[in-house]
Amino acid sequence: MPQALPAIIAALLLLIGALGLALQYGGNHALLWGLGAALGYTLYRGSFSFAGGFREVLADGRGAGLRAQMLMLSILVTVMLPAIQAGTLAGAPVRGIVFPAGVAVVIGAFIFGIGMQLGGGCASGTLYTAGGGNTRMLLTLIFFITGATIAAYDAERWADLPALSATTLPELIGLWPALLGSLAIFLLVALGSRVIEQRRHGRIEPILSAPSPNASRRWSWAMAAIILAALNILTLWAAGRPWVITASFPLWGSRIIAEFGWDEPAFWAFWEDPTRTEAFLRPVLAERSSVMNFGLMLGAFFAAAIAARFSPTWRLPWRHVCASVIGGLLLGYGAVMASGCNISAYVAGIASGSLHGWLWILPGIVGNWVGLGLRPLFRLDR
């Protein structure tokens, strides 16, 4: 039975937000707000967790979540790589998320991976579970933003680490070899996870069929992956670039610091970069990733209320609090240092063909493995 009052509050906030953004910034901002809400709703209803998917395959040899990620990535590269290469999608100009691949990406992805397992989620996972009423994840989000802000303040320490120039696979080997090679890798990963799961458990969890009635999931893995891929493609069309999350986190933290007069972030090297200066000087709601992030959290809030699962618990074990604080700081610092998180680098980077997105994967997985080993210290299940 849906929770009527929370559902009504969430729906009203979504409607008011859409109308306010349309009046202030135009219909495109309202559309991005709606896409963010749809992403949050889908993530929550599908229990689609990158951190959980990595944890299941590393700790227990179960690969359904990883196979769902490969399905989503296959759809994205098939549509987005040609569109980004052409510079247009359905008549709208589009570009990819492309950053230099270097030492900072390796270190940042490794740090982020540890944070995923201690903090309890990735970037999208933290937002949608916090929006859905998980108070531990709300704490993780606060320190996620804090860590990202510290990384922005500290950018001079790592910004000049050795790196290749920003480039893409289509630029290096051509569009079709890059597309077909990417699909081949996704297929090999999916097949490999099936082999491991069959050997460990004697059966393979399907991703196409609906979960059992007592399962925490509400949608099949495949359904969630396909809807998320479609929403990613719509975001590319509406925003002119793929879905990103963590670009707004150092912005939020830096603006809070500026508002309270604790420092002048406008003079930090991070914000003096011409590609970021405009975002810092404009209102927060003028920044597209912020709009989508707020919408995502409200979409998850609405989904939790509809599923009658919005029940915040304010008493947390102290070890879980410590894990959220440490994990959140690692998530934030790692995401900024790596030029992206599981969404901005892993998903958007690979869908753009960026080398930095492909480089992110291995240190990110190793970081998850290390974080998995640390979870028992905080009384977190492996």
Q: Tokens 């070890």 map to which residue?
A: 319
Mean local confidence (pLDDT), 61-66 = 94
Both tokens assigned to 145: 């933003």
* pLDDT band at 49; cut points 50, 70, 90: confident
Q: Which two tokens stand for residue 78?
A: 């098939």
pLDDT over 90 percentage in the chain: 88
315 band by pLDDT with thresholds 50, 70 and 90: confident
- In this prediction, residues 331-338 reach a mean pLDDT of 97
**Chain segment 346-362, per-residue pLDDT in tens:** 999 999 999 999 999 99
Compute the radius of gyration of the chain from its Cα atoms. 20
E strand spans, 26-100 = 88-89, 92-93
The partner residues of 88 in beta bridges, in order of sequence, read: 93
Predicted confidence band at 217 (pLDDT cuts at 50, 70, 90)? low
- State the average pLDDT over residues 74-93: 97
* Burial class (CB within 10 angstroms; exposed 0-12, middle 13-18, buried 19+) of 16: exposed
Q: First and final CA of the chain: distance in angstroms?
A: 32
Q: Of all helices (H) and strands (E), which one includes residue 271?
A: helix 269-272
CA distance 59 to 52: 10
Answer yes or no: is pLDDT of 287 > 90: yes
Please determine, for residue 215, whether its predicted confidence score (pLDDT) is greater than 80.
Answer: no
**185-198 residue pLDDT tens:** 999 999 999 999 99
What's the whole-number mean pLDDT along residues 100-110?
A: 97
More confident residue, 216 or 135: 135
pTM: 0.95
Going from the C-alpha of 69 to that of each of 43, 47, 66, 72, 225, the distances in angstroms are 12, 13, 5, 5, 7
From 361, 378, 367, select the one nearest 55 (Cα to Cα).
367
Hey, is 52 helix, strand or coil? helix
d(CA 297, CA 71): 24
Residue 322: name the closest of 108, 122, 143 by CA: 143
Asked if 118 contacts 323 with a C-beta cutoff of 8 angstroms, the reply is: yes
| C-alpha to C-alpha distance for 126 and 51, rounded to whole angstroms | 10
Q: pLDDT tens across 4-43, in order? A: 899 999 999 999 999 999 999 999 999 999 999 999 999 9
d(CA 38, CA 198): 34
The model's pLDDT over 131-176, given as tens digits with 9 standing for 90+, comes to 999 999 999 999 999 999 999 999 999 999 999 999 999 999 999 9
Q: Is 184 exposed, middle or buried (0-12, 13-18, 19+ CB in 10 A)?
A: exposed
Cα–Cα distances in angstroms (integers) from residue 111 to residues 84, 122, 146, 312, in the given order? 30, 12, 15, 29
Least confident of 101-110, 155-164, 202-211: 202-211
pLDDT at residue 211 tops 80:
no
Question: CB under 8 Å to 37, separation ≥6 — which residues?
Answer: 14, 295, 296, 298, 299, 302
